[in-house]
Structure 1
Amino acid sequence: MPRFSLPGFESVSPSRRDALPSTDRRAVSVVVARAGSALLAALLVLFVVAAPVAAQGEWPQLLGPSGDGHAPATRTATEFGETQNVVWKTEIHGKGWSSPVIWRNQIWMGTADEDGKRFWGVCVDRETGAVVHDRLLFEEAEPKFCHDMNSYASPTPVIEEGFVYLHFGVYGTACLRTDDGTVVWTRRDLPCDHFRGPGSSPTLWNDLLILHYDGFDYQYAIALDKRTGATVWRNDREIDYGTDNGDVMKAYNTPTVIRVDGRDLLISATSKACLALDPATGTEVWRLRYPEFSSTGRPFLAGDLLYVNSGFGTAQLFAVRPDGSGDITDSHVVWQVGKGIGSKPSQIAVDGRIYSIHDQGVLTMLDAATGEEQWRKRLDGELFSSSPIYAGGYLYFCSHEGPVTVVRPGAEPEIVSVNRFDDGFMATPAVAGESLFLRSRKALYRIDP
């Protein structure tokens, strides 16, 4: 049986002692050498309490540490709202569906003018909600059309120790230092007509920043040196789209790296196909074909299977064995389902079950091994674009209109609460420690239990 795992980010934070800065670890070592047991216990508690926020877990990319919507948190709020359990609320200017990413005490996200003429990276203090950096990164005199359901700042950044990478599709990509917000490098020379606005978020693998540009005119995956921004490889899509209509060639998916049999694979879903590439070179390993286009939901690994959402018009969800080569469409598909699968939100797996929120608000639960439907229910809210997350033993679903539904997963899922806000949600939530971070159309909230 092949062995599968997710590289790059750990799902569980390191021990709190190991998360201390090296100077604090040395201080603890001195205490161990010199203190008696009672004093030692007291001082160790002091150091643990004083540990940096990083010890409580980060949310470094779209859909969290493993890119599958799972948070390591064991306790999160289930009852909250516009005025309930809100630690702080910070207005975010402009229009952006970028989800927040979190590292230590910083929360970063992108935003832009509604007309797409200016683009910013915004950093908020995790503890206070104060805006730390509000960096104007790019200006565009004549931006191309963006659909009202989208924004010019929909791609979610990716963050690591010392650096954050903000991406606005063809309008620009920037690497910033997180300590002072200074720009390290930018790229604005990568062609793509998104046709409906940008949507694909970046991912990090080793020393590479990997991006998708799937537009009306050009379609390719590209890897940049994360320290310099220089191109390392580019893979131009060689896909039979069945048409010369570029609207069918565009896509909004985010690359994902998984590990299969000791080898890393870059899962690069797009219109009409999902490709597995060697992340070091961009060389194709296998492909899965499907008839749909404008793929959006991020692929994810659960157990031994990779789950791939095919996009629009009517989305299908494929469960695939990811250990093949060449065209695996007829050989490695375990099951495929076309009923109840949302086109925009990603799906999520919990305890052998797949939860899929349709764009129109119907939540469906499938058996992860067979694809058999086991349960369905309409949630509060008319439209859903945000992807669900799993934290503290609960699933969270954010709607366009404002209701956020909390569901306890299981053989008979339970609606735990429906929480109301003054504005709706397009961005996917983030989690750090026991805190939920929800970005509405106009503000960022921190919610604590």
Structure 2
Amino acid sequence: MIDHVRVLAAGLLLLVSIAGCDMFRPPVPDVAEITPSADSTPKSVPEITFAETDWPWWRGPQRDGVAAGAAPVEWSSTKNIVWSAPVPGRGHSSPTVVGDRVILATADDSAQTQSVLAFDRTTGEQLWETQVHQGGFPSGGQLHQKSTNANCTVACDGERLFVAFLNHAEIHATALSLDGEIVWQTTLGPFASKFGYAPSPALWGPLALFAADHRDGGFLAGVNRLTGEIVWRRKRPAVATYSSPVVAELGGRPQLVISGGEQISSYDPMSGESLWSVRGTAEATCGTVVWDGDLVFASGGYPQSETICVRADGSGEVWKNRQKCYEQSMLAHDGYLYAVTDRGIAYCWEAATGKEQWKGRLSSPVSASPVLADGHIYVCNEGGTMYVFRADPGKFDLVSENLLGDSSFSTPAVCGGQMFFRVSKGGQGTLYCIGTAESEALTRAE
């Protein structure tokens, strides 16, 4: 009898060691929906403004990873580096570039602080650092080993910066001025962390839009850009998934689209009203939805592998395959869909049919998303090697391989003829401005 008790106790200890204390955690409180009213609907909010030479938010000015201009296709530690600057802490936040500033989010794990940083776009000098939170980080068992406590890419409306962090088991949104002063902070709702928090905000009209999908019941929220008031909040499936929302003009109207929870879903960005939902992708996705005309594309994830195309009116699936871009977003361009999978395989598919045009092998693993600039696709693997290949549906044409650092999870920003790229070497983060002498002169002239 004693032996049986010992075996049972040993089994329980093993289960706890594998699952951690999280198996005993209480569920987080359910979030209440908020419906917009006439009083809460924002009025007289300044329009969102940015220059052609800016990269104002996640995936760039068009929200799809496509840059307005070109960038160098070759560089090294001694070639085409305009400047480099040390970045304190850790984060996968991608650079946001507006006016004369480059903005990043970062976290100091030892001090448990989450901050926003600004660098001078021309020189790389750090202009300011604003601490947004301290303490309240998720436990080690609630954060993926590849993740950080600063994954969200900052969004800018021309006057304010918007960011969200997971802290004290809640998602908090913060607005800052371009000089780093905190304008407002709002608690969006509770969050049960499995691997951490990833989504970046989307800006549309008078609202900043935030996603917070988690395993105890996620939500989407639309927040007044001026005041931080939650204008609307809608429940989402109780699934741990990580994709950012994006707003696109689809089917003759703006739609907020997001994948995850084994569905691609569309909402009215002004009210949060559900427009349509199509079953597809996977339980967990990380990439941001892309589109081409009235076709919408998403990929995931965990546990199944699937890339899917659906109609933007929600009428159903067009095609799908068994490839997986779990962490990466894809690129839709000129009637073709380009993707790089977790295993470092680049694909080109015909957007309307899903027909495979080609595939090419890069080295893996890959977590960052590709960026398209002047006919070239840039994508970096986790080891810091940036591959450049042509956006050519006829063949896979690798142009160059460029190595900086020994670790990279952050997607670059391309604007004003330059690339802003966050990497790490030996645990020390660095922000690079990559450009030619001509692009540097153009930036100084502006």
* TM-score of the alignment, normalized to the shorter chain, above 0.5: yes
| Aligned partner (choices 142, 146, 149) of residue 152 of structure 1 | 149
The equivalent of 1:268 in structure 2 is 258
Is 2:308 aligned against 1:336? no
Superposed displacement of residue 55, structure 1: 4.7
Q: Which amino acid aligns with 2:214?
A: G
TM-score by length of 1: 0.81
Partner SS for 2:189? coil
Q: Is the 8 A contact 1:103 1:160 kept in 2?
A: no
Amino acid at match of 1:227: L
Which residue pairs with 1:446 in the alignment? 433
Partner of 2:162: 165
Query: Is the counterpart of residue 388 in structure 1 residue 343 in structure 2?
Result: no
Answer whether contact 1:116 1:143 (CA < 8 A) is retained: no
Separation of aligned partners in 2, 1:274 and 1:117: 35
The equivalent of 1:41 in structure 2 is none
Tell me, in whole angstroms, the C-alpha distance in 2 between the residues paired with 1:219 and 1:116: 28
2-structure distance, mates of 1:278, 1:155: 23
Give 1:388-407 correspondences, 5 Å limit: 388-407=370-389
Distance 1:115 1:187, change over 3 A: farther
8 Å contact from structure 1 (residues 91, 443) kept in 2:
yes
**Aligned-pair distance for 1:188?**
3.3
286, 290, 309: which one aligns with 2:276 = 286
C-alpha displacement of 1:353: 1.8
Following TM superposition, by how much is the alpha carbon of 1:311 offset from its aligned partner in structure 2, in angstroms? 2.5
- Please tell me whether residue 431 in structure 1 is matched to residue 414 in structure 2: yes
Q: What do the CA deviations read for 1:157-197 (whole angstroms, capped 9, x no partner)?
A: 1112111112114353210010x211000123521112111
**Identical aligned residues as a percent:** 30
Partner secondary structure for residue 168 of structure 1: strand
Instruction: Report the CA distance shift for 1:414/1:101 in structure 2 as closer, same or farther (over 3 A).
Output: same
Aligned mates of 1:131, 1:196 — CA distance in 2: 30
Give the superposition deviation at 1:142.
5.0
Q: Answer whether contact 2:281 2:306 (CA < 8 A) is retained.
A: no
Q: Which residue does the alignment assign to 2:396? A: 413
Find runs of 4+ consecutive structure 1 residues off by over 6 angstroms: none
With 352-361 and 287-296 compared, the bigger mean Cα shift is at 287-296
Shift of 1:126: 0.7
* Residue segments in structure 1 that go unaligned for 5+ positions in a row: 1-53, 240-245, 325-330
- Normalising by structure 2, what TM-score? 0.81
| Secondary structure of the corresponding residue to residue 347 of structure 2 | strand
Q: Matches of 1:115 and 1:143 in 2, distance apart?
A: 13
Aligned to 2:343: 360
The residue type equivalent to 2:411 in the other structure is: T
The letter of the residue matching 1:407 is: F
How many angstroms apart in 1 are the aligned matches of 2:307 and 2:136? 40
Deviations 1:314-338 (A, max 9, x none): 33121111124xxxxxx42111111
CA distance in 1, matches of 2:57, 2:204: 12
Q: In 2, distance between residues paired with 1:291 and 1:70?
A: 23
Distance 1:311 1:116, change over 3 A: farther
Report the AA paired with residue 316 of structure 2: H
Partner of 1:256: 246
Moved more, 188-197 or 403-412: 188-197
Q: Tell me which of 373, 385, 401 is aligned to 2:356.
A: 373
- Displacement of 1:291 in angstroms is 6.3
1:118-267 aligned at under 5 Å gives the runs 118-144=113-139, 145-169=142-166, 170=170, 172-178=172-178, 180-188=179-187, 190-237=189-236, 239=237, 249-267=239-257
Distance 1:146 1:312 in 2: 16
Amino acid at match of 2:57: Q
CA contact (8 A) 2:251 2:294 kept: no
Corresponding pairs, count: 378
Deviation at 1:262, TM superposition (A): 3.0
The whole-number CA distance in structure 2 between the counterparts of 1:116 and 1:359 is 32
